[in-house]
Amino acid sequence: MSNFAFVFPGQGAQFVGMGKDLYDKHDEIKALYEKANEVLGIDIKKISFEGPENELKETKNAQIAIVLHSVASYKLLIQKGITPSVTAGHSLGEYSALIAANALDFDDALQLVRFRGELMSRAGEASPGTMAAVLGMPADKIEQVIAEIGSSTLVVANYNSPMQTVISGDIEGIKKASELLKERGAKRVMPLQVSGAFHSPLMGSAFNTFKLALEKIEIKNPSVPVVPNVTGKLTSSAEEIKENLGNQIISSVRWVDTVRNIVSSGTTSFVELGPGKVLTGLIKQISPEAELTGLENYS
């Protein structure tokens, strides 16, 4: 069985206890978590399973915990003979997607994700910013409002669905945009509890340092096409994947394009692997004709 898109969630999907059910049932998942502890030099298993929640929510921990849970879920599906025809991930989830497509080594991914989380946290402290979710307004109208405000750091961070878009930038810019978007008819504008303005120019310091680290990592041509967030287009080029993986830190997540291009390629069945069902909800909004299922159907 291989006509499935495997999709993987990003930061925010984490919860205390995530992955413990898989760990308790499967020896290979126990080995996966033990290896992660060894590679990282931290007890990410304990943080994932026991918390406390505030420690798990820290960017440097949450990102690793989500990737681990996602990869554990993926490995169980592979054992059952269920393989992807294409993979994609939302922001952080792109790393899980690359592992699933055999483009990125698991150990390298763990170290990259840990470093990425640390850099993003530092960038958030050095250049304070925030994010907000805008509901019930088309993305082009949101872009118009951002252009009117004229802030060099205010951008669309996530094109999540036709009627859910996330903006990111400096605190004052987000405040102005939120007020103006409400005036222009946005159904809701919700501030997000984040430690920085992710996927915006305020992550510039993280981007520059991360690009240097990424140069030392081998990324191979994937065994199936992957969809980078930056383009939202299917690719099988290792060079393109590496370039976009670096740019992702300061670029928009084009999830609407990602889903539409996967469906256009002929894959209409999606499996969300990892904590939560956020992507499943977004995919339903983007492509109502898509078939969606979860790991529980196969475990």
Give this prediction's pTM: 0.95
User: In this prediction, what percent of the chain has a pLDDT beyond 90?
Assistant: 92
What pLDDT, in 10s, does the model give residues 190-218?
999 888 999 999 999 999 999 999 999 99
- Span 16-23, average pLDDT: 95
The mean pLDDT value of the chain amounts to 95
Answer yes or no: 96 catalytic: no
Is there a contact between 15 and 61 (Cβ–Cβ < 8 Å)? no
Helix, strand, coil in percent for the chain, rounding step 5: 50, 15, 30
Domain segments of the chain as ranges: 5-125+201-297, 129-192
Residue 185 three-state SS:
coil
As its CATH architecture, domain 129-192 has: 2-Layer Sandwich (3.30)
Domain 5-125+201-297, CATH homologous superfamily name and number: Malonyl-Coenzyme A Acyl Carrier Protein, domain 2 (3.40.366.10)
Do the first three CATH levels of 5-125+201-297 and 129-192 match, i.e. the same topology? no
pLDDT value, residue 264: 97
Active-site pick, 199, 200, 251, 252:
199
- Is 91 among the residues known to form the active site? yes
Q: Please report, for the chain, how many H helices and E strands are present, in that order.
A: 13, 10
Among the listed residues 48, 70, 73, 91, the single catalytic one is 91
Q: 78-111: buried (b, 16+ CB within 10 Å) or exposed (e) per residue?
A: eeeebbbbbbbbbbbbbbbbbbbbebbbbebbbb
Q: What is the pLDDT of residues 212-262, one digit of tens each?
A: 999 999 999 999 999 999 999 999 999 999 999 999 999 999 999 999 999
> Which residue, chain included where needed, has tokens 């209409």?
268
